[in-house]
Structures are given as C-alpha cells and as structure tokens.
Structure 1
C-alpha cells in the first residue's frame, strides 16, 4: 500500500511531466488573460454541468476581457467573443476542424458534415452544396407551405384555451419538414414519424449527446454499461439508424422503375444515393449525412420559430408591427401561399428574426481547434492543438457592441444605420467564414413562411416576463423554464 509520501511524490512527478509536455502553450498564459485553474484540472470542474456553462463563461469574460485562455484538464483552450478574433478563426484554413466536444455527436449520430474533419469536410461540403442551392431551396416552397397550413389547423383547438407550451408542436412540425426535404415527400406517411417516435428518439439522443459533451467519460461504452445507460442509448441509435437505412434501401430498390415525384427531384437523399452509386459515398456516409441534416434542421428551426413567438408575446408592440406588414402582403386570414418573393418583401420580419437570433441565439457556443499554428490579427500565435470556444451567446449580448440595451429585445438593433459601424462578425447566428452553416438559407426561408402564416392568423400572448428567462447550454440553446403562450384568433 502506498504511503502518503509516495502519493505526493507520484503526483509531483505527474505534475512535472504535465508541465513539460504542455510547455509550448505556456507563453499564452502571459499573452492572454484568463483563469489558470487548479493543477491537472484547470477549470474543468466548473464546466461539469450544462446549466453552469454560460454563467461561467460570462463570469470570466467579464473579469478578463473578450479573449481568455485556460485549461480543461491537460487541454489548453480559448474562449472568445471578440469579433475580430472570431473572424481570424473562422477564416483560417487551420481552424476548420470542430472541437473535441463534438466527439459526442459523432458517437451518437455518426460523423456527418456537422463534425467531419479536414480534408473530408471540404470534399463532402463541395459535393453536398447543390442540395442547399437557391433553386432547390425555392422548390421546397410547396412543402413549407403545406406543412405550415397543417400547423394552423393544429393550433385551432388551442385558441382561447389558456397558456400552452407550443415547442413540442413546433418540433413535430419542423421534423416533418426536415424529413421530407431530406428524404422525400412520401416519408411523411411513415408511422414512425406520424406517431412522434422519431421525434422522441432524437430528443433522447440529444440528451445523451449533451451529457457526453460535458461528461466525456460517458463516451466509453464500458462506463455507460456500468452506469446502466448503454442499453437505452444503443436502442435509440439503432432505431434512428434503421429508419434511415430502410428509406435508403427503398430508394435504391425502386431505382429507375419509380422516378421521384416532381417535388422530390433534387432532395438531398437523391443526391447522396447518386454519389453512392458512383462510388464516392459509402452507405454509411449517406446514412450519417442524412441523420445529421435532419437533426440539425428540425431542432434549430423549431427553436428559432418558438423563441421568436415567445419574444413577440412578451413585446406585443413589435408583434403588432409584424402583423401589419404581413396583413399588407396577405389581406385575408386562413391559409395562403407564401412565395420566395413574398419573403423578400418582409423587411420588418427580417429585423425581428435577426433580433430573436441575437437575443436567443440558436447555438450559443461552437468549438474549433487549431490544426496548425495560427497567427491572429492581434499578433498572438495559437499553437497547434488549442481548443477554441466561440461564445456566440455573449458576443450577441455584448454592450460594447450592441449598446446599453444589448440584453433586451429590440428589432431596431438591425436597422441599417445601427448596423453600418458594427464589425461584420458581431452577428453570427449561423457562424461565418469557410465553415459556415450549409443550411442557413433553408432555416430562414422556412422560419419566415411559418411565422407569416402564424402571425397573420393568430395573436400570441404570455404572462411570463422577459427578465425571468434563464438559459441552458444544451448544444442548442434551451430555456430552463419554457414560457407558455396563449393563442387568440386574429
């Protein structure tokens, strides 16, 4: 049995080895302010719970400035909300790889475009860009319109029935759209989707992903088994995988005997299976990319629409302005077709959506890592192997950028004369630069069509106060307590 003296000696040797192995990062301690933390642990102990992450980041950014350095155990990492440094990172060819926390996403849903490393990411992004082009996006209009018409009917029984949580309805709605625009319109008849089992599976998977991001030991199958968490996790992964695989197999089996419906001609799955038939993609590539795109599209779009409605319910004066603009474009209530051209005329809606994504940014933190040494515009060189957390949430609420009312909701923040002097990377809800979000146009068009129909037909109100909103970093932004909305007919 080791004596306490031997334990102390062992720890000292370990600490000396750690210092020696990390020596090339130590100059950052003198160049970049930040919390050093404890030996071997750094500040990892402060980030064990997702409820604490945004609060901890905010504390240290306020204390040390918008660009700080610290340690996560033996791993050096940067937290940044400075738009100039963010621009350097997002435009560097040596910062294209996502951070190590995305290993949890790879484990849960497979390695798709969201987390794929270089050089594979560049290859896949170039191949998949046509699936998100302007012409194809406009062709999704019938799906966006048809599903939003169904959403209007779903809300009808809730009129004048008190305050309700609308997020589950909106998530089901956006998942229906995401699966159809990814895999084809026939998928909406699947019982797995109609029964909301796919939605439940994705929710369960997201919860596991988040737990693994903040508790990396859960990436070990053995540890999950010891904790009794592996069986359910594996079951959910298998269900989603089987659902997508069957759709792929069905499409391959039909082949040329059953040409796609007109609205399905250019969907992602047709492009991906064509790449597979040409030997460029594997079956696993098609499955991983399909799952990643569906998950990314439905979760963030549902939150964007839901949070916009919540904010407009809290600030009814802005809701009325949006309603007046929509009523000018669409004089009659009920269902109506919203074209791409109509969405380009929704100038006030643009202000509202931007402000909603500023105040309640869809993805509050994104992570990158340096693949080579990176020279920043402030003269500092980040060595290879540094993890970087881009704190979009607090960038969007920085009073030095957005003024004293940065933490409240005011669409006038995005009036041209208010934006002209702001750094172009001050507002990055879909990130920017080389590895920006491939689906940002899709998200905006879908959200605008949905909000136009909802706000033209219904008025939303809430007793929940804006100042009582409390936020949780959950890969996507979550609210600790979801405000309930009352629905009234226009």
Structure 2
C-alpha cells in the first residue's frame, strides 16, 4: 500500500512530467527552437531583474535563432526578432491585442489606446485619429518653436557647469510641450508641475516591475515590499492633475469658445466624445493619461539620446551642424517651419540611427487571439504570448552588417536601405495594424527641438559608447546616464 505522502509525491512527479512533455510537444510540433526551462518556472528565473532581460534575450536569440519559444511559468511565449516574422505578427488580425504584461499599464495608467483590447481599440483609434492629423500637427509648430526658445535660455547657463545630466531638464520641457499640444493648456506655472513629472516616473518604475514580477499586481504584495505608498500617491496626484485640466476644458467649452479653437486638439476630441455619450469620464482620463505620458517621456529620451550619441561620435555631430547652419546661418532663436524639417536630410539619418541602436521601446508584446500562420507555414496557436524584440532586431549583424552594434548614420543612406533591407527591419514606432498613433508628432517635434539645440550648442562627453548598459523599461533606460558638457556655438 502506498502511503498518502507517496501518492502525493507520485502525482507531483507525473504533473512535472506532464508539463515537461507539453513543452516538448509545443517545441516539436511548432518547430520553433528555444529553451524549455524548468518545471513551474520556465525561464522566469532568468528574467527577474530588469537589467538582465535584454541580455538574456540576446543570449537565447544568438543560441537558437531569431525566433524562439520558451515559457514564463506555465505560459508559452515566443520571442521574435526576424523582420518577416515580425511583419506576420504586426499585420495579423489575430495579433492586435497587447500581451498580458500590459495589465500593469492598465493598473497604473488606465485602459487607453496603448493597452486596450480589440475591438474597443479599433473604435477608440478611429475616434482619436483626428487629433493626430497632419493639419493638427502643423498647428503645433508655433508651440514647438516657442517652448524650445525658452529651453535655449536654460541651456545658456549650462556651459559653466561642466558635465551635466540633461534628462530631468528635457523631461520637464517636453511635459510643458505635451500638455499644451494635447490638453490645450499651459501648466508649467502650476505649483505641482515638477511633482507631476516625478509622479509619472514613480508610476513607470512600478508598472515596469509589475510587468516583470506579476505578483506585484497584488496590492498587499506591494505594501509588503514598500512600493504601494508612493505608487498610490503618484497615481492619485496624476489623476487629480488630469481631472483639473479636463474640468477646466469642459468649463471653457461653450459653443462660442469652441468655434475659435481647433476642435481636433486631443482633449477637445475626447471631451466632445464625452458630451456625445460615446466616452465616459474614465475614458477621457485614461486616454489623456496615456497620451501625455507617451508623448513627453519618449520625446525627452529621444532628444537626449541623439545629443548623447553625437557627443560620443563628434564627426557626425559636425556634419549635422553644418547642415543645420546652412538652413539657419545665424545662431540664437529662429523659426523652424515644416518645410525646414523636410530639408534636414542628414538630421533624419542621425535620428533614425539613434532609434536603431537605442529604440525608444525595446520590447513590444502581443498575444494571439486565434491561430497565427507565419509566412514559413508555422502556426502559432491561440493564447500564446509574443515578445517582439526590437532591440536585438535593430542590432542584428545579419541585417545591419558587422558594425550593427555601433552608431553610424550612414546606415540610413539610400543605398544602404534599398531592396536588401526588409521593411520591418526598422520599427522604432512599430508598424502594421496597431502602430503608434503619435509617430508623426514625435518626428516633427524632435526635429524642431534638435535643430535649435544643435545649431546653438556643441556637446561632449567622457562616457564611452561601449560602456552603455541598457535596461528594459516601458521606454528604454540606461543603467548609468552619461553627463554631457555643453559649449555655446556662434
């Protein structure tokens, strides 16, 4: 007779064997290589720390190939860094929904365009598209110019300070631009303006930790680990800030006042949907929350990373300076028009190359809502989580050549981006059905900002490119932020 403990032990062994066999079955039938991992854990133990994730993904991809399969606990997931597979995923109607890790975004930022599920996503995207039309974006140019002129005056004080961390300054600056262009209100004079920026970063840190450590979704776990107090305070402060802006806009939106304003500014669009009963107040708050965070954070980091890389590679900095100087011979403030941005050809190369080696969002997650057939004929079943590894695809030597891991704007010269490059080999804003709604906004604003900053100042750093360590975050992060030394140009 087997004792109760022996029965339990036998069942436990059989369960482990079942899980192991199930994983082997997936690997054999799907014909996607990858590490099986341990029972219960899968590969989760390798991905506990943010600073390990990109490195571990790189090791798996180098060992097993550009598309692999593994497990996070009991959940099967695919990592894709092959452009054709990525295109299959991003253009499939069965892969529109974001992965389960974005539940953390729902908790921290609300349910908006970034994380909302289809078919609600399709409805919201169609309703909000007018806020990012070309005409509306052109109407923001005076704001981009005016605010960057004020930033120049702040930069005037920096040459005497030696090497300086520009990111906090740029984040406050881009938050000021974002609230004006998306919410229609200038809030820089608000008493808690700096605190709001800090609250967004507190939320971002906790959201990223929740993505990696699902147990942090439980409030009591966050309380035990000492995270809940600041996280709750930050969410509450952001919500109060947004509610104040929304209520102010609703109070001002009389019929006469709307006629004198552009109805397609983001907050006008959402409050109009509220009045028509299409959105409720939570929809307005959630969509506003996500668009404000997405715009200010990615813009600030993109601008900084371009300046940082040009400081590390001064030969390219001088080339882009000469181009901008040919358009704007005199230093100081000047108006940048949309036509001017179209003539900044070399700056385009520099920005693209910066987003190649340091993609704004390094990893993007999707999940299959139905069986997905890849171009190769492989079928990924319903319910599989997919991680699109933009970081390693952008740095693949098979795609970008032997110098793929260093910075060289020539990678985007016409003869280097011709027929040999897959159209999905470079996707800083993703592509396909669920591409970033704000990519044109980012492109125009970044060009205006950089044109003025690069015309008026030069940048140096003692930090070496090869010493950069990248950390997975909702937006990519550096373990150590290089400080830049700034000099005034004439």
- TM-score normalised to the size of structure 2? 0.96
Q: String of CA shifts for 1:60-108, please: whole Å, max 9, x gaps.
A: 1000000001111110000010000000000000000001110110000
Unaligned runs of 5+ in 1: none
Partner of 1:488: 487
2:482 matches 1:478: no
Contact persistence 1:245–1:287 (CA under 8 A): yes
SS of residue matched to 2:186: helix
2:98 matches 1:98: yes
Q: String of CA shifts for 1:137-156, please: whole Å, max 9, x gaps.
A: 00000111111111101111
Partner of 1:205: 203
| Pair 1:246–1:451, CA change in 2 (3 A) | same
Question: How far apart are 1:262 and its partner, in Å?
Answer: 5.7
| Pair 1:334–1:119, CA change in 2 (3 A) | same
Q: Aligned partners of 2:153, 2:261: CA distance in 1, in Å?
A: 23
Contact persistence 2:23–2:36 (CA under 8 A): no
Q: String of CA shifts for 1:393-440, please: whole Å, max 9, x gaps.
A: 000000001001101110000000110020000000000001000000
Q: Aligned partners of 1:362, 1:176: CA distance in 2, in Å?
A: 20
Contact persistence 1:25–1:76 (CA under 8 A): no
Q: Aligned partners of 1:147, 1:370: CA distance in 2, in Å?
A: 43
| Pair 1:14–1:226, CA change in 2 (3 A) | farther
Q: Aligned partners of 2:393, 2:246: CA distance in 1, in Å?
A: 41
Partner of 2:62: 62
Question: How far apart are 1:7 and its partner, in Å?
Answer: 5.0
Q: Aligned partners of 1:160, 1:230: CA distance in 2, in Å?
A: 40
Partner of 2:150: 150
2:233 matches 1:235: yes
Contact persistence 1:185–1:263 (CA under 8 A): no
Unaligned runs of 5+ in 2: none
SS of residue matched to 2:285: helix
Q: Aligned partners of 1:28, 1:413: CA distance in 2, in Å?
A: 38
Q: String of CA shifts for 1:356-393, please: whole Å, max 9, x gaps.
A: 00011100000000000011100100000010000000
Partner of 2:270: 272
Contact persistence 1:392–1:429 (CA under 8 A): yes
Alignment of 1:132-281 (within 5 A): 132-193=132-193, 196-256=194-254, 259=257, 265-281=263-279
Partner of 1:453: 452
Partner of 2:434: 435
Q: Aligned partners of 1:319, 1:40: CA distance in 2, in Å?
A: 50
Partner of 1:122: 122
Structure 1 range deviating more: 255-264 or 236-245: 255-264
- TM-score normalised to the size of structure 1? 0.96
Q: Aligned partners of 2:42, 2:97: CA distance in 1, in Å?
A: 23
Question: How far apart are 1:259 and its partner, in Å?
Answer: 1.5
Q: Where in structure 1 do 4 or more consecutive aligned residues deviate above 6 Å?
A: none
Q: String of CA shifts for 1:455-483, please: whole Å, max 9, x gaps.
A: 00000011111111111011111111111
Q: Aligned partners of 1:44, 1:262: CA distance in 2, in Å?
A: 55
SS of residue matched to 2:486: strand
Contact persistence 2:20–2:39 (CA under 8 A): no
Question: How far apart are 1:354 and its partner, in Å?
Answer: 0.3
Q: Aligned partners of 2:307, 2:28: CA distance in 1, in Å?
A: 43
Q: String of CA shifts for 1:167-220, please: whole Å, max 9, x gaps.
A: 111111111111111111333332222xx0110000100010011011100001
Partner of 2:303: 305
Q: Aligned partners of 1:52, 1:343: CA distance in 2, in Å?
A: 38
Structure 1 range deviating more: 239-248 or 283-292: 239-248
Q: Aligned partners of 1:119, 1:30: CA distance in 2, in Å?
A: 28
Q: Aligned partners of 1:54, 1:366: CA distance in 2, in Å?
A: 12
SS of residue matched to 2:365: strand
Identify the match of residue 385 of structure 1 among 358, 378, 383: 383
Contact persistence 1:185–1:264 (CA under 8 A): no
| Pair 1:271–1:202, CA change in 2 (3 A) | same
Partner of 1:36: 36
Question: How far apart are 1:221 and its partner, in Å?
Answer: 1.5
Contact persistence 2:176–2:186 (CA under 8 A): no
- Considering only aligned residues, what root-mean-square deviation do their CA atoms show, in Å? 1.8
Q: Aligned partners of 1:25, 1:385: CA distance in 2, in Å?
A: 16
Partner of 1:333: 331
Q: Aligned partners of 1:24, 1:120: CA distance in 2, in Å?
A: 36
Question: How far apart are 1:236 and its partner, in Å?
Answer: 1.1
| Pair 1:273–1:71, CA change in 2 (3 A) | same
2:13 matches 1:12: yes
| Pair 1:280–1:30, CA change in 2 (3 A) | closer
Q: Aligned partners of 1:23, 1:330: CA distance in 2, in Å?
A: 61
Q: String of CA shifts for 1:438-462, please: whole Å, max 9, x gaps.
A: 0001001110000000000000011
